[in-house]
Amino acid sequence: MLVVHPDATVLASAVASRLVVRLIDAQAERGEASVVLTGGRVAAAVLRAVGELPARHAVDWSRVDVWWGDERFLPAGDPDRNETQAREALLDVLPLDPQRVHAMPASDGPDGDDPEAAAARYAAALDRVAGPGTAPLPRFDVLMLGVGEDGHVASVFPGHPVTGETRPVAAVRDSPKPPPTRITLTLSTINTADEVWLVAAGADKAAAVGGAYGGSDPVAVPACGVRGVRRTWWLLDQAAAAEVAMAAAAAD
């Protein structure tokens, strides 16, 4: 499903409102909610916009699980970490339960500078929250993704071996985008979310968005390989959506 907004500012506000409503609905349905955050400039704008919404008070934030789709494998508190940016934009002012904020391990954490061990630790956290006798992954109500200029999502990059990874969480070495070492949910994990939201703004994203929306090879354009169980939303500004119409027409 595709929604196009006039510009990045309106996009961030609209996604923020959509997120709050989705969390309220999830809690009305089952008493709790779960969101997977992404990084990047639009994601930070969305989180700041959530903090400005009066409706945010309708969410019981103590019963929201917060996960991350990927993380730069850097020391805790590094300004380039997605966790750091999310905390500064919103999380530190919300009444969250610290036990339900599941940050990906840092490079100065218990696994030291071993990203494979850190990825395994995060996979174990997912399994622990899922609980015994259930699927190995918890329920994700909303999983948000940015779309890179090359079509990457989370830290799943075009042509990288991680595109075919079947484990829930993977270490990424030699990332084409700095920093070179990262941790990411894999496409197989991303695609277990009830709703996946691909959020992109700016003309620099237009080619990647057009290619992914038009059905490119997921190995070449990982964003093309993303599907939510219930819904997949493309939430774009006009600049990022510039090539979507052409891609849709070509697909027809």
The mean per-residue pLDDT over the stretch 173-180 comes to 95
pLDDT value, residue 218:
86
- Domains in the chain (CATH in brackets) are 2-251 (3.40.50.1360)
Taking Cα atoms as reference points, which of 146, 176, 166, 161 lies closest to residue 70?
Answer: 146
Model confidence pLDDT, tens digit, residues 181-207: 999 999 999 999 999 999 999 999 999
216 pLDDT exceeds 90? no
Query: Is-above-0.85 flag for pTM?
Result: yes
* Bridge partners for 232 per DSSP: 196
Burial class (CB in 10 A: 0-12, 13-18, 19+), 96: middle
**How does DSSP classify residue 84?**
H
pLDDT value, residue 215:
78
Backbone Cα Rg of the chain: 17
Model confidence pLDDT, tens digit, residues 28-77: 999 999 999 999 999 999 999 999 999 999 999 999 999 999 999 999 99
The mean per-residue pLDDT over the stretch 112-129 comes to 97
Dihedral of the CA atoms 18, 204, 66, 44 (nearest 10)?
A: -80
Confidence grade of residue 246 (pLDDT, cut at 50, 70, 90): low
* Residue at token pair 């990084």: 39
140 pLDDT exceeds 50? yes
pLDDT value, residue 131:
81
User: Could you give the percent of the chain with pLDDT greater than 70?
Assistant: 96
251 pLDDT exceeds 50? no
What does DSSP say about strands 169-172 and 142-146: parallel, antiparallel, or unpaired?
Answer: unpaired
pLDDT value, residue 104:
98
Task: Please state which of the ranges 25-29, 119-123, 141-145, 241-245 shows the lowest mean pLDDT.
Answer: 241-245
Confidence grade of residue 92 (pLDDT, cut at 50, 70, 90): very high
Give me the amino acid identity at 167. R
**How does DSSP classify residue 31?**
S
pLDDT value, residue 248:
53
Dihedral of the CA atoms 188, 192, 195, 199 (nearest 10)?
A: -20
Report the alpha-carbon distance of residue 194 to residue 141 in Å, rounded.
5
Average pLDDT value over all residues in the chain: 94
